[in-house]
């Protein structure tokens, strides 16, 4: 009897700790453009570079793009394609009108509108995603003087990469769809294991 009560208490404690750990380390969802969303800057009355510079981004954060499906899209691109507003070789394309992108790796990310003329009119931004830490965030988006530094810094940990690819929500298992922000993707895998054990 004592063993069963202890096992039940242990299971409850593990579940509470897992949920608490997920909440504490959960990423922040950043609504791109805030209330304006993702649209031509002159219509949204927003400068996306300025928007991005107001925030710090960390691994496990998400970017939420809201835009008109069918007339707008979001492309994740390389630094060279970001600078030239080229949409010919995107790393990722999003066109569902309501896109959540998980930032799963540290390093530089570059986003542009899928409509070339919109990108040329300023519908683009870059961010530097910091590794997970319990301290404060560091840098924001790169300044115009830093493009060569952005490629040199890439990923930390010995493996330099210029183009970290973000993962859209649609690529995750369907069981994650019910979780609200803040988002912690690993909870999808940890919690069922704890509850079954």
pTM: 0.60
Please check whether residues 12 and 57 belong to one and the same domain.
Answer: no
pLDDT digits (tens, 9 = 90+) for 81-109: 999 999 999 999 999 999 999 999 999 99
pLDDT score of 14: 54
pLDDT score of 152: 30
Please check whether residues 117 and 189 belong to one and the same domain.
Answer: no
Write down the H helix ranges in the chain: 2-25, 41-44, 48-53, 79-84, 116-120, 147-153, 187-196
For 67, phi then psi, to 5°, come to -160, 170
Please check whether residues 151 and 187 belong to one and the same domain.
Answer: no
Q: How many domains does the chain have?
A: 2
Please check whether residues 40 and 11 belong to one and the same domain.
Answer: no
Residue 66's domain comprises 28-181
pLDDT digits (tens, 9 = 90+) for 107-150: 999 999 999 899 999 999 999 999 987 554 443 334 443 333 33
Please check whether residues 135 and 72 belong to one and the same domain.
Answer: yes
Mean pLDDT over the full length of the chain: 72
Please check whether residues 153 and 190 belong to one and the same domain.
Answer: no
């Amino acid at each position: 009897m004592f063993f069963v009560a202890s096992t039940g208490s242990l299971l409850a404690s593990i579940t509470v700790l897992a949920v608490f750990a997920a909440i504490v380390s959960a990423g922040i969802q950043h609504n791109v453009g805030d209330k304006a969303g993702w649209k031509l800057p002159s219509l949204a009355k927003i400068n996306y570079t300025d928007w991005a510079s107001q925030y710090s981004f960390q691994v496990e954060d998400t970017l939420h793009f809201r835009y008109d499906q069918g007339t707008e899209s979001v492309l994740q691109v390389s630094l060279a394609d970001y600078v030239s507003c080229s949409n010919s070789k995107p790393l990722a394309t999003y066109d569902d009108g309501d896109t959540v992108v998980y930032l799963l790796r540290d390093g530089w990310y570059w986003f542009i509108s899928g409509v070339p003329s919109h990108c040329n009119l300023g519908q683009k931004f870059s961010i530097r995603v910091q590794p997970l830490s319990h301290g404060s965030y560091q840098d924001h988006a790169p300044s115009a003087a830093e493009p060569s530094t952005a490629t040199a810094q890439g990923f930390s940990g010995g493996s330099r990469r210029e183009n970290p690819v973000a993962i859209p929500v649609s690529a995750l298992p369907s069981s994650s769809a019910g979780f609200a922000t803040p988002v912690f993707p690993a909870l999808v895998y940890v919690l069922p294991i704890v509850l079954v054990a």
